[in-house]
Amino acid sequence: MQHYEQTILSQYACSPSLTTLIDAWNQMTDPQALVNRWFDNIWNIETAQGYGLDVWGRIVGVSRVLRVATGTFLGFLEANDLTEEPFNTAPWYQDYAATDNHRLSDSGYRQLIYAKALANITDCSVFSLNKILMMLFAGQGDAWVEESGIMAMRYVFNFTPTPLQISVIQNAGVLPRPAGVTVSYAIREAGDGA
């Protein structure tokens, strides 16, 4: 406790035995170190670790464990996801996908929590959606939102996402879908005009 001396009755304040006992007890039970440690490891999202990030994940509604699709399937340019491949490079879709659970590291999970928190409070404007993309894929390459028709939008990536990133994009619920708008995804390598 801080300033515990103010709580001692004045008639006992000059007693060295009593003040020594109270001082020793205060040092032994001072919760300040525990409160500081709790704040750093759980409450402060910038420094939270392990269990603290798991708590934040439950608060914003995103899991640390993602199901990562391990295979690609035959698809066409108008497909709405990022796992399609052209003829002679991928098998037909067989109504199931081999999946692998992947547990995100603390830094990756913290980034996902920030993005999901932004998605929870977004107004779904292009500016807000682009801000979420910049946070999720900082240093990976350019990513943006574009209009692709009436009541339709497309998330465009100027880099090839990893299977883990594809799971974050399509399955984690981090990238918002405005009400009544169809959403598709596209990968455009540098120099692609399409």
Find, among 91, 113, 131, the residue nearest to 174 by Cα. 113
Extents of the domains making up the chain: 11-43, 51-187
**What is the SS3 assignment for 32-72?**
HHHHHHHHHHHHCCCCCCCHHHHHHHHHHCCCCEEEEECCC
Q: What is the pLDDT of residues 119-152, one digit of tens each?
A: 888 888 888 889 888 888 888 888 899 988 889 9
Is the pTM above the cut of 0.75? no
Instruction: State how far the alpha carbon of 83 is from the alpha carbons of 46, 70, 73, 90, 164, in Å.
Output: 33, 10, 6, 10, 12
Instruction: State how far the alpha carbon of 30 is from the alpha carbons of 12, 95, 191, in Å.
Output: 21, 59, 62
**Banded model confidence at residue 91, pLDDT cuts 50, 70, 90:** low
Comparing 93-102, 116-125, 129-138, 169-178, which segment has the lowest mean pLDDT?
93-102
pLDDT at res. 125: 87
pLDDT at res. 75: 58
Q: What is the pLDDT of residues 45-80, one digit of tens each?
A: 999 999 999 999 999 998 888 876 665 665 555 455
